[in-house]
Amino acid sequence: MRPVFDTTGKQMSQIAYFGKSDVGLKRANNEDAFLLRPDLGFCLVADGMGGAAAGELASGIFTETALEVFSKTVSRREKETLDLVQKAFAWANERVLDHVKDNPEHKGMGCTAELIAFFNEGFVLGHMGDSRTYCLRNGQLKQLSKDHSFVQDQVDQGLISQAEARNHPMRNIVLRAVGVKESLALDLVRGKATPGDLFLLCSDGLTDMIDDALIEDVLFPKSALPQKVERLIELAKSAGGFDNITVVLAEVT
């Protein structure tokens, strides 16, 4: 944990980070990736798709690209932070598409991704796919991202309920992902980051297994970030652990 400064030299709130990825109980390999860079004021989760090697490549490309983009600057304000988040997704999208052109056997590869970057008293979140970002504030858990999935689209149209969506046979169909289309439909969320806020970034290997109420029950008590992360992964595995499970926490102190 270390302080970050904006372009005026004003110290930002400190952010404490912790993350872990688990292969789960059913998969032979882990296609998820995560990155914590407190020195650069950001963290991310990416969930690869498209088969074993290709999925790992896609999430790896996203992670490496984001690090390259954010390594160019540390001091920044909201506009620059927004630009960097957009650039990380755009460059990663282009690089995955280029990889598929050169390696047609990897056609269909891509990744869902959550990237949150902090600046002076605020944050910018970039979101694509069905990985999720939440914020626990004043004891209340709020989902900041909205799933880009077939079942979420069905919920939005009033065709199925949220409860039905949880067990829908087509719940894993993703409508947006990095590296799938040349045009990038990226969701951007901006907001304040106040002391006590706890941000959760996770792959769907967590949220497909346990509901938001249980996640809130784990995050709310005053305990260390590693304990919270371990507990969430343990609960997801106890519920079946059908997918890779990746959990990242960022706490404003």
Q: What domains sit in the chain, N to C, each tagged with a CATH number?
A: 15-145+177-252 (3.60.40.10)
Q: Can you say how many angstroms the Cα of residue 50 is from the centroid of all Cα atoms in its chain?
A: 18
Closest C-alpha to 208, from 174, 159, 165, 253: 165
CA distance 171 to 13: 38
Give just the sign of the alpha carbon dihedral 58, 64, 243, 52.
positive
The burial of 159, by beta-carbon neighbours within 10 Å (0-12 exposed, 13-18 middle, 19 or more buried), is given as exposed
Per DSSP, 22 falls in state: E
pTM: 0.91
pLDDT of residue 52: 65
Residue 89, token pair as written in the block:
């997704």
Yes or no: say if 35 and 41 are a contact pair by the CB < 8 Å rule.
Answer: no
pLDDT of residue 172: 72
Name the 3-class secondary structure at 72. coil
pLDDT of residue 53: 74
The number of beta carbons lying within 10 Å of the beta carbon of residue 171 is 19
Residue bearing tokens 């894993």: 172
Residue bearing tokens 């790896």: 60
CA distance 194 to 251: 10
CA distance 41 to 2: 9
Residue 123, token pair as written in the block:
């944050």
Please state at what angle helix 78-102 crosses helix 52-70, rounded to 10 degrees: 150
CA distance 80 to 193: 17
> What does each of the 253 residues of the chain score in pLDDT, given as a tens digit?
444 433 333 445 699 999 999 999 999 999 999 999 999 999 999 999 987 679 999 999 999 999 999 998 777 899 999 999 999 999 999 999 999 999 999 999 999 999 999 998 899 999 999 999 999 999 999 999 999 866 766 666 777 766 666 666 666 778 899 999 999 999 999 999 999 999 999 999 999 999 999 999 999 999 999 999 999 999 999 999 999 999 999 999 9
Q: Which residues touch 102 (CB under 8 Å, ≥6 apart)?
A: none
Q: Can you say how many angstroms the Cα of residue 235 is from the centroid of all Cα atoms in its chain?
A: 19
